[in-house]
């Protein structure tokens, strides 16, 4: 039996999520999240993706590159269980795993072929992603509805997608900034709203109100917000970060 296996990185993710905080806990929850996958090396070949544009969704197999150095534990606390109950790592979608490998189902918006310096470059434009910017991609597979969607499947938790219970409002200052960014980021207010509706705070803080002002990095922006009640969030400001 093999003790080790070597895998090649076939692509890298370009994502609006610049840090782990605020990334939705599952793909598809924030449909307005748009990004892309740039194929690399030998896989950066138009023949490799021939026919892929006929599929609406793809599986992305990737590396949890931002957390792999932290190692893993046999027991973890899933957010959907309130962050208090411990269950086995292999019974969760935790980023801390024996091997730091994840999989994500995303919508394939288009397959883009561009030419730079007489070389073709293949980019997969995707949406609904839950991937950190710079995520290394190991493999891509088409989503097959009849086999990948099992309506009889049962989960001990997270059987159904969470229903947003939080309303999101924007301060006048935030509205002015969003208006000025409309051409650069056309659906930015929707994007921010969909993220905050999921309450990205740590699981143990959910269902509780705190006075802390939170910040999250999207694109080159820093968005500051706070809870105004158990079911309401106000976006205080949207600021362009200095590069």
At the top level of CATH, which class does the domain 167-240 belong to? alpha beta
Question: Distance (Å, rounded) from C-alpha 145 to C-alpha 102?
Answer: 20
Q: Is the dihedral of CA 228, 27, 62, 153 positive or negative?
A: positive
- Structure tokens that stand for 78 in this block: 């899933």
What is the SS3 assignment for 191-226?
A: HHHHHHHCCCCCHHHCCCCCCCCEEEEECCEEEEEE
Tell me: pLDDT of 186 over 80: yes
pLDDT in tens, 203-233: 778 777 788 999 999 999 999 999 999 899 9
CATH topology of domain 11-65+100-146: Elongation Factor Tu (Ef-tu); domain 3 (2.40.30)
Per-residue burial over 161-188, b = 16 or more CB atoms within 10 Å of its CB, e = otherwise: eeeeebebebeeebeebbeebeeebeeb
From the DSSP assignment, how many helices (H) and strands (E) are in the chain? Answer: 3, 12
Domain chopping of the chain, boundaries = 11-65+100-146, 167-240
* Whether pTM exceeds 0.85: yes
Q: How confident is residue 236, by pLDDT bands cut at 50, 70 and 90? A: very high
């Amino acid at each position: 039996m093999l003790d080790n296996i070597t895998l090649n990185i076939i692509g890298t993710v370009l994502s609006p999520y610049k840090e782990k905080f605020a990334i939705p806990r599952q793909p598809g929850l924030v449909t307005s999240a748009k990004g892309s996958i740039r194929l690399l090396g030998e896989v950066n070949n138009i023949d490799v993706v021939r026919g892929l544009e006929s599929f609406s969704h793809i599986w992305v197999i990737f590396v949890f590159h931002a957390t792999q150095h932290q190692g893993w534990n046999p027991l973890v606390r899933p957010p959907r269980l309130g962050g208090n109950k411990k269950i086995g790592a292999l019974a969760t979608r935790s980023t801390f795993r024996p091997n730091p490998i994840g999989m994500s189902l995303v919508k394939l918006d288009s397959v883009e072929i561009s030419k730079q310096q007489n070389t073709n470059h293949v980019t997969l434009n995707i949406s609904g992603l839950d991937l950190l910017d710079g995520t290394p991609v190991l493999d891509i597979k088409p989503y097959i509805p009849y086999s990948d969607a099992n309506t009889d499947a049962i989960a001990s938790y997270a059987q159904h997608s969470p229903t947003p219970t939080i309303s999101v409002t924007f301060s006048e200052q935030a509205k002015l900034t969003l208006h000025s960014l409309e051409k650069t980021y056309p659906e930015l207010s929707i994007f921010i709203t969909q993220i905050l509706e999921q309450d990205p705070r740590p699981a143990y803080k959910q269902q509780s109100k705190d006075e802390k002002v939170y910040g999250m990095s999207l694109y080159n922006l820093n968005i500051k917000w706070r809870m105004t009640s158990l079911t309401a969030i106000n976006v205080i400001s949207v600021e362009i970060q200095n590069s």
